[in-house]
Amino acid sequence: MCSSGREEIRITDTILTLPNHDSVPSIVFTLSEGPQELPTQRSITPISVRSPAATSVASFTQANPRNRYFHSRRIKDPKEIQKPWLGKKDPREKWVTIIPLTGIVIGLGIAAFLVYNGISSVVNRKYCEVFVEDWSQGFREDIWTREVEVGGFGNGQFEFTTPYSENSFVGSDGMLHIRPTITETQLLENDNILDLTAEGLCTSNLKKNCVTRTSVANRTIINPVRSARIHTKTSASIRYGKVEVRAKLPEGKWLWPAIWMLPVNSTYGDWPRSGEIDIVESRGNRYSHKQGGNDIMSSALHWGPDAENSAWWKTNNKGGALHTTYAEKFHTFGLEWSENYLFTYVNSRLLLVLYVPFPKGGLYKSGGFPLTNSKGARIIDPWSQTGRRSTPFDQHFYLILNVAVGATNGWFEDGIDGKPWVDGSQSARKDFWDARQDWHPTWKNNGEMVVESVKMWQQC
């Protein structure tokens, strides 16, 4: 902005001498009146030059300084300046502050109560160690029992579970390996009979679980794969407590790994009247498998008055691996179980998979079971007489580790992922075997499940 009078400051006759390049010049100026071409024109005359080594200071003295504060030229009359803070306030304006602050305080109070209530409601139960297995003593046959059967364990599984160390062993890495292997070709391509009872190996009392055969004419074969199923029935069991198994699941088509529990005495009758606890089940197929591959695991409780009325679907849930698969690295699969609830988790109790609170009226009432079975016989409630809400999960259960291969019970649905057999076919095993060039190469690391440790605690 210009005005009628103009100030001009001019530096004249300045001589600067640098004694050496290690010093920095410092110039001190003073303002003096010079030739005045305009009324307010001045000039600057240097009065001294010095060169200290550190800092430079310039000192200016201006003649006739103007002691004038800044003011806006837009305001003509100072009385026009508005000062609302000096005016009388509306008493209702205070509520604009009070109401939000009150809401914040109430909200914080509610949040604090919920946090306190949640923490105080957590029951920190005391657990006593029952069993810890780190395999440092190798495969302990006094602890682990190998089941030897060919009957498919009620699921039409294709494996023959063996007592052989090639299928269940502690490796040089100090871990348990459950490894499926291919059955000898000559047993599958020629008429043969495998009688485990005659060999003194079968662990079942049922003939169908101990004897199998290959019939070329009928397209039936002996179990085409050998694997292992081991348990702690005679050595370690718990009634309410905790279980943790750290393991890496297998990768490969049609592999079915499981870590689960069955009752020691089947107090309430045959399966599923006495219950079953599946801590983890999975499929070795790739993640693209429609039912879920090795990136998905599931937990379930099986319970019901008879085999055709199992209510497992009411107590079943799946958990996905986070940015990985259960076959790529080790995970800790856990169970916590009390008289009031049961839940499973992966790696942390914060990562729940399945949570089942036992209802006050008992499981039978919540099952919604029919009055009669498919044969017209009346269904009897097998549990309510105990008066315990957790029945049939109120007895001792033992741990099972196994890798199954194939099945005809629907665990692998027909027509998915190039499944080479049909569940209802008599030749399902043979059809599976004939497609071995498709599935066997997918068994990474021999299709084995590797178990690092097993821990069991009893609620004290």
In a domain, 453, yes or no: yes
Residues 156 and 246 in one domain: yes
Q: Is 42 part of a structural domain of the chain? A: yes
If asked whether residues 53 and 196 sit together in one domain, one would say: no
- The answer to the question of residue 88 being in a domain is no
61 plus 137 within the same structural domain: no
Please identify, among 15, 32, 66, the residue that sits at the C-terminal boundary of a domain: 66
What is the pTM (predicted TM-score) of this model? 0.76
Question: Which two tokens mark 304?
Answer: 């019901």
Q: What are phi and psi of 252, to 5 degrees?
A: 155, 150
Question: 422 lies in which domain range?
Answer: 127-459
Domain check: are 33 and 164 in the same one? Answer: no
CA distance 186 to 305: 44
Which stretch of 74-88, 172-186, 268-282, 359-373 has the lowest confidence by average pLDDT? 74-88
Cα separation, 429 vs 158, whole angstroms: 6
| Structural domain includes residue 369 | yes
For residue 74, is it within any domain? no
Which one from 276, 336, 448, 452 is the annotated catalytic residue? 276
Residues 163 and 252 placed together within one structural domain of the fold? yes
| Residue 9 within a domain | no
Q: Is 276 a catalytic residue?
A: yes
- How does pLDDT run across 279-291, given as a tens digit for each residue? 999 999 999 999 9
For the chain, the residue count is 460
Structure tokens at 140: 């302990």
Question: Do 170 and 47 fall within a single domain?
Answer: no
Q: Are 457 and 242 in contact (CB under 8 A)?
A: yes
Secondary structure (3-state) at 121 = helix
**Catalytic (active site) residue 281:** yes
User: Do 273 and 139 share a structural domain?
Assistant: yes
Asked if residue 420 is part of any domain, the answer here is: yes
Measured CA to CA, the distance from residue 447 to residue 434 in angstroms comes to 19
Asked if the structure places residue 270 within a domain, the reply is yes
The CATH number of whichever domain residue 282 belongs to comes to 2.60.120.200
Total domain count, the chain: 2
Residues 248 and 373 in one domain: yes
List, for residues 201-235, the tens digit of each pLDDT value: 999 999 999 999 999 999 999 999 999 999 999 99
Same domain for 225 and 357?
yes
Same domain, 27 and 148: no
Q: Express each pLDDT in 260-273 by its tens digit.
A: 999 999 999 999 99
Catalytic residue among 244, 281, 448, 452: 281
Do 449 and 302 share a structural domain?
yes
**Alpha helix (H) ranges present in 122-181?**
none
93 secondary structure, DSSP code: G
33 with 152, same domain? no
Beta bridge partners of 161: 149, 227
Residue pLDDT, tens place only, 36-85: 444 444 444 444 444 444 444 444 444 444 555 566 667 667 667 777 77
